[in-house]
A and B are shown apart, each in its own frame.
Chain A
């Protein structure tokens, strides 16, 4: 049970990081950025050659220093490139439609997602690609006879650091205040002298960069990736954002971890004649949760009810 919880926490941290990108963009321009999951996959793909260069793949034991430098550099490179991609998408595809009817940017977002996903397919092919090994996996004893690996500790620690950093940034800095202002009322924010376009670009930059950095730890944790990984992951992460209350950063963290734990729990259900039932049905369970939350508590767990702006 404790092991399922740990695995769920590690998985949920990944969902939470991706959910942050959805929730930030939705909070500020009320758009479901379908391309976000594919930006994430792009992040995993660009991290692979970086790690191949920095970490000696043939070594049996990778020195901790090498692991640390390798992972750090890969995260920075991936975050940077994903951030640029995110800003470019916003600039080229979403900004021209900012005053169009709501359906238009949403359809564009699906189109962008298809384009990126197929570009990734052309680049890396249709199969699953192994992620380079980055560190020696060590197991530590944990509560109740369960074990926790250093990878899981790393994943959870990085995710928690990112979330705390983002939370401080949004709530304590002037730029963060500007972001909240734009999210609350774009026109009023503009009248207060906030450069709305720049703040929206910045939101895409931060959301995508977080996904890029998260992509590296995804690779380390899951160890393989396909061109369409980001699609399902993005759906689950979006569900997490909705569960927590879309537009709410702390909600995204909570939702991500909840979804991670639920998936890890359901995945292990079923034994004997019904072995594997959990693995077959967990995505149905996640979407059922999405529908139930939207029906009974559309504002999410931490969100406040808002009426649609007229």
Chain B
């Protein structure tokens, strides 16, 4: 009997299921308590953005991480979720001159207003339908073709939104309000449940934060269950070996399609949350660079890893909203201080104080993508299975495994 090394002990400890559950519960409790300590205002706003990012990262993780399909136009589904909300719950579509009101829906000259809770399935369904509509003809292509087709799709959706505004050149009525954005999107109805009194207003981020948190927690649970379901295991099987999976009786295209549609559905949730929180949608938020931002979240956290997607969403949200600006200011100030020094230090200072960090976000994202792929392809919080797949074993490790096999066979353990 060999005593396990520290490294092995740590690995074992980290892999233990009980510990993972405890960690998850601690994180959720901390997240629920966070508004009590957060500086109300910007801090909580960033956290709310992080929730939307987490939803997007979770959804894309199904497509890229579980099913191994590179989707470069994922922001388009986010756009569809957001615009579905905007069209169905704002003053945009005026119908007739009499207002009809019911519990879940009202329409009239003041626009169509669908109840927020009814919109949750509608937004998800709209995004999922677009995923199916678009995925069905293309998902039998090989992976890298799919990447470029999704990229094209991601370019088309914002372009169509832009072109279907008022007075458009194809003679259609004003559908999307084009470059003018859609404003005046409804907030969720007020919630009064026992001790909970939530009023969704722009000046109080707390109800938004809690609403987002609940959606995130439910989504995480759904995705965990999904991953270990028959469907989730089929996704992984196809990713790891398409031919073997097909021989095991898995319908390749159909299974991929479900990954695509379910992945899209989660960005539909994200779009709904974002549109109703901001009260406005703008198609320029959903361009290629945002698709890449979501991809960076998934890659950073670790492809196929659910905690990884959560971490990736949080890190990129904070990087986007505050860290980068703060770091840029800090480095520039530090450069200004160094400028007072002599010779080389002065030159370094001038360079640092003029460093355009704020506009270098795409470069930082690019460095993250390349760096992670070259140095740690399994990401920061890897899923065990994906890590082994992405990190081919060295000859030494293989030999070690062989010798272990040998000792097992000779009964020396």
Q: A residues bordering B, Cβ < 8 Å? A: 30-32, 93, 96-97, 99-108, 110-115, 117-119, 121-122, 231, 235, 238-239, 242, 270, 273-277, 280-281, 283-284, 287-288, 290-291, 294-295, 298, 308, 310
Contact B138 A291 (CB under 8 A): yes
CB distance from B208 to the nearest CB of A (A): 31
- Measured in the bound complex, the distance between the Cα atoms of B360 and A115 in whole Å is 9
The answer to the question of B342 belonging to the interface, with a C-beta cut-off of 8 Å to chain A, is no
Interface residues of B in 132-166 (CB under 8 A from A): 137-138, 141-145, 147-149, 151-153, 155-156, 159-160, 162-163
- Selected from B141, B152, B169, B359, the residue in CB contact (under 8 A) with A122 is B359
Contact A273 B374 (CB under 8 A): no
Is B370 within 8 A of A112, CB to CB?
Answer: yes
Residues of A within 8 A of B369 (CB): 107-108, 110-111, 114
Q: Is there an interface contact between B292 and A110, defined as CB atoms closer than 8 Å? A: yes
In the bound assembly, the distance between CA atoms of A30 and B68 in angstroms comes to 17
Residue contact A291 to B370, C-beta cutoff 8 Å: no
Q: Do B138 and A238 touch across chains, with their CB atoms under 8 A apart?
A: no
B297 at the interface (CB under 8 A from A): no
Q: Report whether over half of chain B's contact residues are helix, strand or loop; otherwise say mixed.
A: helix
Query: B390 in the interface, Cβ–Cβ < 8 Å?
Result: yes
With A32-B147, A107-B70, A122-B356 known as contacts, the answer to whether A100 contacts B377 (CB < 8 A) is yes
A287, B373: Cβ atoms under 8 Å?
A: no
Decide if B169 touches A308 in the complex (CB within 8 Å): no
Nearest opposing residue in chain B for A231, CB measure: B288
CB-contact partner of B151 in A118, A235, A310, under 8 A: A235
9 more A-B residue pairs beyond the given contacts A106-B147, A115-B366, A274-B170, with a C-beta to C-beta distance below 8 A:
A32-B144, A100-B392, A103-B303, A106-B70, A107-B70, A108-B373, A110-B369, A122-B359, A273-B169
**Complex Cα spacing A237 to B163, Å:** 24
Do B155 and A287 touch across chains, with their CB atoms under 8 A apart? yes
CA distance A274 to B170 in the complex (A): 6
- Given the known inter-chain contacts A106-B70, A277-B170, please indicate yes or no for A290 contacting B159, CB distance below 8 A: no
State A217–B365 Cα separation when bound (angstroms).
32
B392 lies within 8 A of A122 (CB):
no
Which one, B137, B363, B370, contacts A108 given CB within 8 A?
A: B370
> Any chain A CB within 8 A of the CB of B41?
no
Cα of A290 to Cα of B150 in the assembled complex, Å: 11
Given contacts A103-B64, A106-B70, A294-B138, contact A114 B152 (CB under 8 A): no
Q: Are A114 and B374 in contact (CB under 8 A)?
A: no
Is B265 part of the binding interface, using a Cβ–Cβ cutoff of 8 Å? no
B residues in contact with A310, CB < 8 Å = 243
In this complex, the member of A105, A114, A284, A295 whose beta carbon has the largest number of chain B beta carbons within 10 angstroms is: A114
Among B142, B303, B374, B392, the residue within 8 A (CB) of A308 is B142
| B299, CB-defined interface residue at 8 Å | yes
List 20 A-B residue pairs with CB atoms under 8 Å apart, sorted by A's residue number: A32-B144, A32-B147, A97-B374, A102-B143, A103-B143, A104-B390, A105-B373, A107-B373, A108-B370, A111-B365, A112-B370, A115-B370, A118-B362, A235-B152, A274-B169, A275-B169, A283-B156, A284-B156, A291-B138, A295-B138
Q: Which residues between 373 and 413 of chain B lie within 8 Å of chain A, taking CB atoms?
A: 373-374, 377, 389-390, 392
Q: Give Cα A30 to B147, complex, Å.
A: 13
- A119 vs B363: C-alpha distance when bound (angstroms): 7
B163 contact from A93, A101, A106, A280, Cβ within 8 A: A280
Q: Contacts A97-B373, A97-B374, A270-B169 given: A287-B156 contact, CB under 8 Å?
A: yes
Alpha-carbon gap, A97 to B372, bound state (A): 12
Q: With A104-B373, A104-B390, A274-B171 in contact, do A114 and B138 touch (Cβ < 8 Å)? A: no
Given contacts A101-B390, A103-B64, A238-B148, contact A118 B360 (CB under 8 A): yes
Judge whether B367 is part of the interface by a CB distance below 8 angstroms.
yes
- CA A113 – CA B303 in complex, angstroms? 20
The 8 closest A-B pairs by CB, nearest first: A111-B369, A114-B366, A287-B152, A118-B363, A277-B169, A115-B366, A111-B370, A118-B362
Residues of A within 8 Å of B368, CB to CB, are 111
Q: Which residues of A contact B299 (CB under 8 A)?
A: 107
In the complex, A78→B64 CA distance in Å?
37
B72 proximal to A (CB < 8 A):
yes
Q: Are B295 and A110 in contact (CB under 8 A)?
A: yes
* Contact present for B367 and A115 (CB under 8 Å): yes
What is the bound-complex CA distance between A105 and B373, given in angstroms? 8
| Residues of chain A lying within 8 A (CB to CB) of residue B367 | 111, 115
Q: Which residues of B contact A277 (CB under 8 A)?
A: 169-170
Give the residue name and chain of the B residue nearest to A116 (CB).
Answer: B366
When chains A and B are docked, how far (Å) is the Cα of A284 from the Cα of B160?
Answer: 8
Known A-B contacts A110-B72, A235-B152, A287-B156; the reply to A117 vs B362 at CB < 8 A is yes
CA distance A245 to B377 in the complex (A): 31
CA A103 to CA B67, docked complex, whole Å: 11
CA distance A242 to B152 in the complex (A): 13
Which residues of chain B have C-beta atoms less than 8 A from A231's C-beta?
Answer: 288
Bound together, the chains give a CA A294 to CA B137 distance in angstroms of: 9
B149 adjacent to A291 (CB under 8 Å): yes
Q: How far is the CA of A277 from the CA of B164 in the complex (A)?
A: 11
- State A21–B359 Cα separation when bound (angstroms): 29
- Chain A proximity of B221: nearest CB distance (Å): 27
B149 & A290 in contact (Cβ 8 Å cutoff) = yes
B95 to chain A, nearest CB (A): 25
- Give bound CA distance, A93 to B374, whole Å: 8
Who on chain A is nearest to B154 by CB?
A287
CA distance A15 to B410 in the complex (A): 65
A235–B159 Cα gap in the complex (Å)? 15
A101 to B72, CA, bound (A): 18
Chain A residues whose C-beta falls within 8 Å of the C-beta of B143 in the assembled complex = 102-103, 106
Answer whether A30 and B169 are a contact pair too, CB < 8 Å, given A108-B373, A115-B370, A281-B163: no
Complex Cα distance A281/B160, Å? 8
Complex Cα distance, B373 from A96, in Å, reads 10
- Asked whether, in the complex, the Cβ of A111 is within 8 Å of the Cβ of B170, the reply is no
> Which residues of A lie under 8 Å from residue B389 when comparing CB positions?
101
A-contact bits for B184-207, CB 8 A (1 contact / 0 none):
000000000000000000000000
CB distance from A236 to the nearest CB of B (A): 10
Of residues A108, A231, A238, A242, which shows the largest number of chain B Cβ atoms within 10 Å of its Cβ?
A108
